[in-house]
Structure 1
Amino acid sequence: MIAAVAAALALVVTGIAWQRIDSLRSSLASIGGLGLGGGEDGAVDILLVGTDSRTDAHGNPLSQRELDALRAGEEVANNTDTIIMIRVPNDGRSATALSIPRDTYVDVPGIGMSKINAAYGATKETTRLELVESGSDAAEAETESTKAGREALIESVGDLTGVTVDHYAEVGLLGFVLLTDAVGGVEVCLNAPVDEPLSGARFDAGQQTLEGPDALSFVRQRHGLPRGDLDRIVRQQVFMASLAQKVLSAKTLSNPSKLNQLTAAVQRSVVLDSDWDIMDLATQLQGLAGGDVTFSTIPVEDINAMTDYGESVVQVDPDEVRDFVAGLVGRTSDDRAPDDDRTTSATPVPDIEPSTVTVDVTNAGDVAGLASVVSAELSSEGYVEGEVGNYTGSAVSSSTVYGADEESDETRAVAAALGGLDTATDPTLPEGTVRVVLAGDYSGPGTSTFAGSESTTTSSSSGLTPADGTATPAPAAPPIDAGSEGPRCVN
């Protein structure tokens, strides 16, 4: 659903007449002041959130007919049951969607350790009550508390993944149904028949096409599945892969009626941050093919962990999550300046023996003693300490790892170990030796702002125990892509 929203936006913008662009822009719901980034790391990181809101994107209550079709009841809810980070390199050549389980146990700003899906709703309600008690009217309290909830979720996701969120998009239950129906339904495949009353999921085994409410029941079911929410995420991913594939297909591109339906669906159901120009997104994604869209899930230490007060949560290791994200969405060549002939580190990280590499570290920035600290960090990883001191060359603005060959495994491994620095060739260096130049932009290991440092790393294991006595881990599985023939069969 969520990745397809981005694809649908791009498709709508590129498919409609240019004179209608301004109309589409003006009709989209937007929010501002979320403290977002700007893609300076070579890619745009989009936090895409699926909520169980009973209103449309503009805050209008859904009709009784729509609520009945959603099979979701009428209770007031602010849960963010689908949380996905999408990484789109600045050249738009791919899109990687990373799912975060809703019960992931994280440090939520202002709340403490909690399930990540509570960041939005709990923060919103706490803020709303505070505003009402201080004299704010209901409308103002609703607006400001919703913003606070979104900000808390953005910060929680950023802290967990080590990635700065550049843009924010939100879609409710109605939007999911409208987008699915706009493309004429989506194909799915089940390993076994399903009859689960809580979600309304009643399906035969095998391949089938689902529309609107049935599609919503398919991706919402978690009871009766072997791994609960983790299996639900897999369902969501295979569904999104099929939906994205259909949205990007020539049949949709060439069908004016489907384009009109997609336009209407996006207008009514999608909320974007106000600094996000949809034309930029369309330009980035216009060459995207199904096989370029992949879906993954963060690694999990225990899917059935229990807090000391009896709440069931999903336990993760923040360091492992950040390492996984860094390897999954490594920096691209767009990170460097247009006149810079250096290349950046690539992923996956090369598998080398650190003890075979000598690392010289020089400090070209203003932080006293940084070279020594960084050298010590590398030594702790097994690298051989080389020369350490201040940089004496011409002024530099970007931290760089130099090697005899910028593409060598040694050069790339050290660059990755320092948070994904640029690499460059220095033919005067012998093989097996690399030189690190630390500029004012350095924020990797050895700095207080590094995502993996003790000052910012929050362990989610404190106070958690396996619910059944033995942890049930869920390592990151191979990614699912939107270019395969036919849907993947799942539980």
Structure 2
Amino acid sequence: MSAEQPATPRRAPGRAQGRRRATPPSPVPARIARAVASIVAVLCLVVTGIGWSLFNGLSSDLSSAGGLEVGDGGLDGAVDILLVGTDNRTDAQGNPLSQEELATIRTGEEDGENTDTILLVRIPEDGSSATAISIPRDVYVETSTIGPSKINGVYGASKEASLADAVASTPDGALTEDDQRAAVQDGRNGLISAVEDLTGVRADHYAEIGLLGFVLLTDAVGGVPVCLNTDVDEPLSGANFHAGVQTISGSDALSFVRQRHDLPAGDLDRIVRQQAFMSQLVKKTLSAGTLADPTKLGALIDAARRSFVIDENWDFVDFALKLKDISGGSVRFETIPVTSIDSVTEWGESIVTADPEQVTEFVAGFASGEGENDAVEEETSAAVPPGIDPAEVSVSVVNTTAIDGLASRVSGSLAELGYAPGELLTDPAAAYTSHVAAPSAGDAAAFAVSDALGGLPVQVDPAIPAGAVRVVLAEDYSGPTGEAAGIESASPATTTYAPLPPSIAQRPTFDAGGTDVPCVN
């Protein structure tokens, strides 16, 4: 073995040659014209259980989508709804928007394929609460069909791949309406699968809404109060607002929630904007002033008919009636944990990275109602079990991969937990699988290190002295790599990134209770 030396990065194992890469970023005008918060319409109607007698027949009026791979029957303790906002320039029935409507949403006529708003709503079986968990649009995921991609591009790339297959299998290369419908179905299923792979949750239901729906809903409730910390004038999104509390609606509301340029944390701050807005929108929708007003309720119904596409097996009205007693304070908004906000792919595309194991554990905490997630967070924060003094455990790390500096990064991650750094070595022939080597069976320190690195198997090596363990890193390693110390992920698809400061790593959360209007960037 030799002291760890820089190695030439190589392509991640299993990445097939010729696999489609993520589509390059669209031009700025197209990127900013997204349905970043239009999906709140679905959430508001889902959690509004009062006055639903007015909604008789609504399910039959909503556009539905068949062939979607959703539903596990709530076996995980919750009903899970995947809510997707698209940048389509059509309504739910596929009709093009009028010139007046296009002007209202402040965008061009070119249709979009991105799903820039992705929310997983978890509702415990007792209907006591609803938690909307945002997934940032730029989170990088590995899919089984299109390869690595930003999650907002999975729908469009899956649809494109389906259309390409249809053209290749047709003698004249002509596409039929059935081909188009199948491609849309494949796009939706590709996204459903990507969300499941990232979060560990298979959605029981699917809902989709376009740009116009957001404007219609906001106008239906008479506008929504928001608060900004400072004045804003950002022309790309059209956001032009003064600091403090104000009520916005229509096009201005769309600009408010879609701005991400000139914000400290980019898309993560845009998600904060969305969630602050959604919390106030749900609060207003649940208020007596809205629910007792037939005109506003009628406008909400019209917005739903014009804007929603739901899976064909969802009895939307029956589902909402089960939530008739939910309160605003029980409607929460969260964001999945991320490991970086400014990584780049090997071909220079800016991405957000996340650890699927960490995301899965985070999301699982919202399946059983209030307080459950707090217990999960407390459990995961106790990285060093009682009875182990990490300062007395020397940990050497062997890197068998071609990922430059992996041993030092993992060692740094363990040092943050208090473990004493040992030797850093490179030996490509050391092992084919990652593991922790211990001097004896049942070595408590070895199992503590294993837990800290995501549950690596523990092996016995009598040559290791007492009070020491050895970590061996192979190509299958996917555990922590010291992100908190500002070090790159183990994936060779990304490069180094700056540490997440507390203002970014600790995202604010919101609910639809209380009387305050939270101020945001």
- Please report the TM-score for the alignment, with normalisation by the length of structure 1: 0.73
Residues 1:150 and 2:180 are matched in the alignment: no
Alignment of 1:17-36 (within 5 A): 17=53, 21-22=56-57, 24-36=58-70
Q: Deviations over 1:137-158 (max 9, x none)?
A: 3422221111101101111011
CA apart distance, 1:21: 1.5
Cross-structure match for 1:74: 109
Cross-structure match for 1:480: 510
CA apart distance, 1:133: 3.8
Alignment of 1:180-195 (within 5 A): 180-195=218-233
Contact 1:51 1:80 in 2 (8 A): yes
Question: Aligned residue pairs: how many?
Answer: 393
Which residue identity lines up with residue 234 of structure 2 in the other structure?
E
Cross-structure match for 1:132: 167
SS of 1:34's equivalent in the other structure is: coil
Give, in whole Å, the separation in 2 of the partners of 1:118 and 1:241.
Answer: 27
Pair 50,457 (structure 1): closer, same or farther in 2 beyond 3 Å: farther
Which residue identity lines up with residue 189 of structure 1 in the other structure?
C
Give, in whole Å, the separation in 2 of the partners of 1:456 and 1:149.
Answer: 28
Cross-structure match for 2:339: 301
Q: Deviations over 1:163-204 (max 9, x none)?
A: 121111111100000110110011111111111111111111
CA apart distance, 1:317: 1.6
2:153 aligned to 106, 110, 118, which one?
118
1:314 aligned to 352, 355, 377, which one?
352
Give, in whole Å, the separation in 1 of the partners of 2:210 and 2:217.
Answer: 11
Pair 349,471 (structure 1): closer, same or farther in 2 beyond 3 Å: closer
Cross-structure match for 1:61: 96
Give, in whole Å, the separation in 1 of the partners of 2:180 and 2:50.
Answer: 35
2:51 aligned to 15, 19, 25, which one?
15
Pair 113,457 (structure 1): closer, same or farther in 2 beyond 3 Å: farther
Give, in whole Å, the separation in 1 of the partners of 2:68 and 2:490.
Answer: 26
Alignment of 1:187-206 (within 5 A): 187-206=225-244
Cross-structure match for 1:168: 206
Give, in whole Å, the separation in 1 of the partners of 2:279 and 2:47.
Answer: 16
Cross-structure match for 1:268: 306
Which residue identity lines up with residue 165 of structure 1 in the other structure?
A
Which residue identity lines up with residue 61 of structure 2 in the other structure?
S
CA apart distance, 1:125: 1.7
SS of 1:156's equivalent in the other structure is: helix
SS of 2:505's equivalent in the other structure is: coil
Flag structure 2 segments of 5+ consecutive residues without an equivalent.
1-36, 389-440, 456-475, 481-488
1:253 aligned to 291, 296, 310, which one?
291
Q: Deviations over 1:109-152 (max 9, x none)?
A: 31111100011011112212322343363422221111101101
Give, in whole Å, the separation in 1 of the partners of 2:369 and 2:328.
Answer: 20
Residues 1:490 and 2:509 are matched in the alignment: no
**Greater shift in the superposed pair: 457-466 or 37-46:** 457-466
Which residue identity lines up with residue 30 of structure 1 in the other structure?
S
Contact 1:4 1:247 in 2 (8 A): no
Pair 380,257 (structure 1): closer, same or farther in 2 beyond 3 Å: farther
**Greater shift in the superposed pair: 86-95 or 128-137:** 128-137
Q: Deviations over 1:342-395 (max 9, x none)?
A: x9x9655557775679xxxxxxxxxxxxxxxxx99x997559xxxxxxxxxxxx
**Greater shift in the superposed pair: 125-134 or 184-193:** 125-134
Which residue identity lines up with residue 8 of structure 1 in the other structure?
L
Residues 1:470 and 2:498 are matched in the alignment: yes
SS of 2:322's equivalent in the other structure is: helix
Which residue identity lines up with residue 151 of structure 1 in the other structure?
N
Cross-structure match for 2:29: none
Contact 1:317 1:461 in 2 (8 A): no
Contact 1:89 1:332 in 2 (8 A): yes
Which residue identity lines up with residue 298 of structure 1 in the other structure?
I
**Greater shift in the superposed pair: 183-192 or 274-283:** 274-283
CA apart distance, 1:471: 3.8
Which residue identity lines up with residue 96 of structure 1 in the other structure?
T
Which residue identity lines up with residue 80 of structure 1 in the other structure?
T
Give, in whole Å, the separation in 1 of the partners of 2:216 and 2:240.
Answer: 21
Contact 2:163 2:180 in 1 (8 A): yes
